[in-house]
């Protein structure tokens, strides 16, 4: 099991319920894929460094998890097809 960290930015116009639903969705993908979520940190709305898709703000979420090497690929695929994700990044923290 490797340690990973993912930071994803959600659309800031989402309500709190929708934000929590998205966070739970991604936690579920990790847990159902055989991984273990260690920490989820909701950073809240922050100004983006540059405009993305006509947005100047985003809701930042940091999630640390352990999994095998295949799970981040699946998580990346789901991030790409989710409309409410503005940007995402998954890194291996053990290297």
**Domain total of the chain:** 1
Domain containing 84 equals 2-92
Return d(Cα 68, Cα 78) in angstroms, integer.
Answer: 17
Q: pLDDT value at position 80?
A: 96
Residue 12 belongs to domain with CATH number: 3.30.70.60
Residue 13: its pLDDT value, please? 94
Question: Nearest-5° angle of CA 30, CA 32, CA 37?
Answer: 35
- Which pLDDT does position 26 carry in this prediction? 95
Average pLDDT, the chain: 95
- E strand spans, the chain: 2-10, 36-52, 55-67, 85-92
pLDDT of 95 strictly over 90: no
pLDDT band at 94 (very low <50, low <70, confident <90, very high): confident
């Amino acid at each position: 099991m490797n340690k990973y960290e993912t930071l994803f930015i959600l659309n800031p116009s989402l309500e709190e319920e929708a934000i929590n639903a998205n966070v739970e969705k991604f936690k579920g993908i990790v847990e159902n894929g055989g991984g273990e979520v260690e920490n989820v940190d909701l950073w809240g709305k922050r100004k983006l460094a540059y405009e993305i898709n006509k947005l100047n703000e985003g809701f930042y979420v940091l999630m640390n998890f352990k999994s095998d090497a295949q799970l981040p690929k699946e998580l990346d695929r789901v991030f790409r097809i989710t409309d409410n994700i503005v940007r995402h990044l998954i890194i291996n923290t053990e290297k």
